[in-house]
Structure 1
């Protein structure tokens, strides 16, 4: 009897240690994101110290004029109106795409699932491209990009899920294959619109390649509440993701309506993706790489995976954007940079998964 009590105590102490470790990591990721935001505000052609950057950010956010009063007005303008919106956009997009990828991987039970491979990102991009094209040639008042991205992201999801249904249920491998097919078709549609755009094609091309350049506070005000609300909904119901990860049969046996919940989380993740794509263009593989890194090295529980993916995704995309804009005299779109890094990682996961299946 004493042996079993010691065993229970060991399990309990192990769980407590794991909780403390995860809380520590969440704190580290949160602090590192704040530090990276401040440091990134100092990077660029104008020489701005880190103390000046933090004084500008804190002073403007809290309305403390005394912190900003002794700093050159040009520096204040550069940090607050030029650099900070871009940095915050990177943090928002990185967090949103990473959480979206974490949810897709969990509900489909497939490490290769993410907004990019499923086709939702391309669908949102196609909708946004239509809005940009109409703004260039056919309408006098600018059409908002976000509603077009939402509509086409959900339409793409609807088409992909209907194509991938096998025997009335959705197959995860078929979802990815269907997503790749639909992405190819939509990519061709984007190329067609680029051709029709003629000399104005640059407005579409740079956006499609994924860029955080020239982001403004308007983008932050629109996207931040959406991303916070959608991630909060996921976190409030995150235990359902753990149950769904067990598979359809187990989930139904435990009293969870698998098909209903699957549609719910796919719609939420698609809206999250569309929000990100509408302000940054297509930034691939963040949703694939970040959740996989968390699951592989830290935790497989979705409560930890979702929250840590949000924080780590924000960190990674802000750093990637800094490298993309500072590594060359010509700015490299961050979407190109993430694809160059994420593509090989995708192949690694695919090969590893294939070997695991064949053993």
Structure 2
């Protein structure tokens, strides 16, 4: 297992570094790759004195104050959604599960839409929409848990069904608010379609603690998730506290999802596609899937955001549209594969 982690982890990290530098050099203002490297290395303590700053100040501003904060947010949001997806797929024992299964993203959309519709999006400064979206996302999880619980017992089928019901209701509520809005309809729709543009470093700082702590907790439960794949009864016989594992993993995965959605809007399919791709390459061991999903999720969202910047440059496409266009065909492939497996 350690050998696999070392090989695949090293390859994934190399791909991430390559993606960061290439993405930083692409955009409406084309910058040479060598110049991007020199600007970045010049800011590293100890190396800056070895590099002569012969580039224009505008190039440095574009890299360090526009593209780098955006790329950092794509990195942490992609990692958080991918790891959350791995947690959901492991605990729900369903490769088609993702961070939106329990309606958390839709719940966050409700909070953001209400704040935007009422014109209160600046009541607490730039953090008003993210804060309200985070709170409503967590409240959605509480409602789903209350609906799914029966005499202290939470069945897997009931939990998923409750999530679908709550998601459908909240989705209709968001659509209703869109019909009520006039001057802010574009703002609501843009938030729902997701974006990491025009965000500062502080937004990445919001997601990062949830990502680090959440990944560490899910790694701790990696062996339990492996045993859960055998079935709840078998896992319980092997010493897994099934109820506690399910509750902790669901809460941690939901917190990461809510934190990511609160700053980027709804970015779909990352939590579905990435853990499954990692599973196809390294196998079903969640002790490998979870750490590798953080890196591959970052790479995926970096390239998705790069496409969002380039396709209609200088105009941006909402990030959620790009991930949906990439993820929906993959979801259809998984669904057809699942049907063939069940029928065969």
Q: TM-score, normalised by structure 1?
A: 0.87
> Which residue does 1:325 correspond to in 2?
309
1:191-206 equivalence runs, <5 A: 191-206=175-190
> Which residue does 2:336 correspond to in 1?
351
What is the CA–CA distance in structure 2 between the aligned matches of 1:318 and 1:45, rounded to whole Å? Answer: 16
> Which residue does 1:28 correspond to in 2?
11
What is the CA–CA distance in structure 1 between the aligned matches of 2:233 and 2:304, rounded to whole Å? Answer: 41
Q: Does 1:339 align with 2:324?
A: yes
Please give the secondary structure, in 1, of the residue aligned with 2:230.
Answer: coil
> Which residue does 2:70 correspond to in 1?
86
What is the CA–CA distance in structure 2 between the aligned matches of 1:297 and 1:348, rounded to whole Å? Answer: 17
Match among 209, 214, 223 for residue 239 of structure 1: 223
What is the CA–CA distance in structure 2 between the aligned matches of 1:142 and 1:258, rounded to whole Å? Answer: 40
What is the CA–CA distance in structure 2 between the aligned matches of 1:167 and 1:249, rounded to whole Å? Answer: 19
What is the CA–CA distance in structure 1 between the aligned matches of 2:65 and 2:47, rounded to whole Å? Answer: 17
What is the CA–CA distance in structure 2 between the aligned matches of 1:62 and 1:312, rounded to whole Å? Answer: 28
- Asked if the contact 2:122–2:128 (Cα under 8 Å) also holds between the matched residues in 1, the reply is no
For residues 260-312 of structure 1, the C-alpha deviation after alignment (integer angstroms, 9 at most, x for no partner) is 22111111000100111112111111101111111123221001011111111
Q: Does 1:76 align with 2:60?
A: yes
What is the CA–CA distance in structure 2 between the aligned matches of 1:225 and 1:142, rounded to whole Å? Answer: 19
- Asked if the contact 1:135–1:143 (Cα under 8 Å) also holds between the matched residues in 2, the reply is no
- Asked if the contact 1:294–1:308 (Cα under 8 Å) also holds between the matched residues in 2, the reply is yes
Which has more helix, going by share of residues?
1
Please give the secondary structure, in 2, of the residue aligned with 1:111.
Answer: coil
Alignment gaps of 5+ in structure 1: 1-17
Higher Cα Rg: structure 1 or 2? 1
> Which residue does 2:236 correspond to in 1?
252
Match among 45, 55, 63 for residue 38 of structure 2: 55
Q: 1:114 to 1:235 in 2, by over 3 A?
A: same
1:111-126 equivalence runs, <5 A: 111-126=95-110
Post-superposition shift, 1:33? Answer: 0.5
What is the CA–CA distance in structure 1 between the aligned matches of 2:244 and 2:183, rounded to whole Å? Answer: 47
What is the CA–CA distance in structure 1 between the aligned matches of 2:117 and 2:46, rounded to whole Å? Answer: 40
What is the CA–CA distance in structure 2 between the aligned matches of 1:199 and 1:105, rounded to whole Å? Answer: 40
What is the CA–CA distance in structure 2 between the aligned matches of 1:281 and 1:315, rounded to whole Å? Answer: 19
Please give the secondary structure, in 2, of the residue aligned with 1:117.
Answer: coil
What is the CA–CA distance in structure 2 between the aligned matches of 1:253 and 1:98, rounded to whole Å? Answer: 30
CA RMSD of aligned residues (A): 2.4
Q: Which moved more, 1:18-27 or 1:161-170?
A: 161-170
Q: Which moved more, 1:183-192 or 1:28-37?
A: 183-192
What is the CA–CA distance in structure 1 between the aligned matches of 2:184 and 2:151, rounded to whole Å? Answer: 46
Q: How many aligned positions are there?
A: 342
- Asked if the contact 1:86–1:214 (Cα under 8 Å) also holds between the matched residues in 2, the reply is yes
For residues 82-135 of structure 1, the C-alpha deviation after alignment (integer angstroms, 9 at most, x for no partner) is 001111111111111111010101011111111123322222232233344455
- Asked if the contact 2:115–2:121 (Cα under 8 Å) also holds between the matched residues in 1, the reply is no
Alignment gaps of 5+ in structure 2: none
Post-superposition shift, 1:344? Answer: 2.4
